[in-house]
Chains A and B, each alone.
Chain A
Amino acid sequence: MAYLSTTNFAEDKDFIDKWLYTIRTGEMDLGWMKSATEKISPEEANPRRGLTYRDLNLGTYGFTDIPEKVRANRSYAPRGAEIPEGVPDAQPWVSRKSELWAFNTESYYEEAVSRQWNATTDIPWDRLEGVELPEVTGKALSQLMTFLTEVEMIATDTPAMWLPRLNPDFIEVRSFIAAQAMDEARHAEVFRKRALTTGWGLMQASPINEMALKHLRDADSFSEMSVALHLVAEGNVLTMFRFSEYLSPTDVDKKIFRLVMQDEARHVGYGMQHFKYVLEHFPEKREVLHAHLDEAENISFAGAAATELTESFIILAGGGLKKENIEQGIRVTTQFNLKQMQEHFERLDKCGMPERKERSKLFQMYEMGRAAAENAGIKL
Chain B
Amino acid sequence: MAFYADKDYTVDQTVLEAAQKVMAGQLGLHWYEAKTERIAGRASDPRRGLTYQDLDVGTYGYTNIPEDVRTSQSMVSRGSEKVGKLPDMGYVVNRKSDVWSDNVAELYEEDKARRWVPAIDIPWNELHAHPVAPELEMACAQLYTFLQECQLVAMDFPSKWVALINQDFLEQKSWMCAQMLDASRLFEVFRKRALYGGAGLGRASRTAEQGLKEWLWADQFPQGSVSINLSLAGFLLVLYRQVAAFAPTKVDRAIMRYAMQDGARQTAYGLGQLRYYLKHRPLEASAMEAYLDHTEHALLGLIGSPELLEPMIIICGGGLEKAQVDNGRIATAKFIRLAVREYMERIAAAGLAGHSKRSKIPAMVDRISAPA
Asked whether any CB of A lies within 8 Å of a CB of B in the complex, the reply is yes
Contact yes or no, A9 B207, CB < 8 A: yes
Scan A339-379; emit 1 where CB is below 8 A from any B CB, else 0.
00000000000000000000001000000000000000000
Verify A76–B50 contact, CB threshold 8 A: no
Contact residues in B for A78 (Cβ distance below 8 Å): 145, 148-149, 152, 187, 191, 201, 204
Tell yes or no: B298 within 8 A of A by CB. Answer: yes
Known contacts A51-B192, A78-B148: does B202 contact A32 (CB below 8 Å)? yes
Interface members, chain B 314-330 (any A CB < 8 Å): 322, 325-326, 328-329
Rounded to whole Å, the gap between the CB of A277 and the closest CB of chain B is 21
Check if A307 sits within 8 Å of B195, measured CB to CB. no
Q: Give the most central of A47, A76, A307: most B CB within 10 Å.
A: A76
A326 CB contacts on chain B under 8 angstroms: 25, 27
- Asked whether A150 lies within 8 Å of B76 as measured between CB atoms, the reply is yes
Q: Is the CB of A139 within 8 A of B303?
A: no
Contact (Cβ within 8 A) B306 A29: yes
Report the nearest A residue to B193, measured CB to CB.
A51
Q: Contacts A153-B75, A184-B177 given: A199-B18 contact, CB under 8 Å?
A: no
Sorting the interface of chain B by its residue count into under 10, 10 to 19, 20 to 34 or 35 or more gives 35 or more
- Encode B292-308 as 1/0 by CB contact (under 8 A) with A: 00001110110110110
Residues of A within 8 A of B369 (CB): 24
Asked whether any CB of chain B lies closer than 8 Å to the CB of A49, the reply is yes
Q: Are B360 and A10 in contact, with the CB atoms below 8 A? A: yes
Q: List B contacts of A199 (CB < 8 A).
A: 38-40
Q: Are A295 and B2 in contact (CB under 8 A)?
A: yes
Given A3-B213, A160-B180: A202 touches B300 (CB 8 Å cut-off): no
B281 interfacial contact with A, CB 8 Å: no
A248 proximal to B (CB < 8 A):
no
Pick from B82, B185, B203, B301: contact of A32, CB below 8 A: B203
A305 adjacent to B120 (CB under 8 Å): no
B289 at the interface (CB under 8 A from A): no
Give the residue name and chain of the A residue nearest to B121 (CB): A50
* Interface members, chain B 198-243 (any A CB < 8 Å): 198-207, 209-214, 216-219
A197-B39 Cα distance, complex, nearest whole Å: 7
The answer to whether B36 and A189 have CB atoms under 8 Å apart is no
Alpha-carbon distance between A263 and B87 when the two chains are bound, in angstroms = 28
User: Is A250 in the interface zone, CB < 8 Å from B?
Assistant: no
Residue B287 at the chain A interface, CB threshold 8 Å: no
Q: Is A85 an interface residue (CB 8 A)?
A: yes
Candidate in A4, A33, A75, A153 with the most chain B CB atoms within 10 angstroms: A33
Contact B204 A82 (CB under 8 A): yes
Complex: how many Å from CA A2 to CA B82? Answer: 36
Question: Are B181's CB and A1's CB within 8 A?
Answer: no
Chain A residue numbers with a CB within 8 Å of B117 are: 50, 113-114
B window 31-81: CB within 8 A of A: 31-32, 34, 36-43, 46, 48-52, 55, 60, 74-77, 79-81
Listed residue (B152, B328, B333) with the most chain A CB atoms within 10 angstroms of its CB: B152
Known A24-B369, A323-B25; 9 more pairs at CB < 8 Å: A5-B211, A26-B328, A32-B202, A39-B200, A202-B79, A205-B82, A211-B6, A311-B22, A333-B23
A-B contact pairs, 25 of them (CB 8 A): A1-B217, A1-B219, A9-B207, A15-B300, A16-B300, A23-B332, A29-B306, A37-B201, A40-B195, A51-B124, A78-B204, A88-B210, A90-B213, A116-B112, A146-B80, A164-B159, A168-B152, A171-B191, A175-B184, A179-B181, A193-B50, A193-B55, A203-B80, A213-B75, A299-B5
Pairs of residues from A and B, 8 with the lowest C-beta to C-beta distance, nearest first: A207-B84, A50-B119, A77-B204, A19-B304, A304-B19, A3-B217, A157-B163, A202-B80
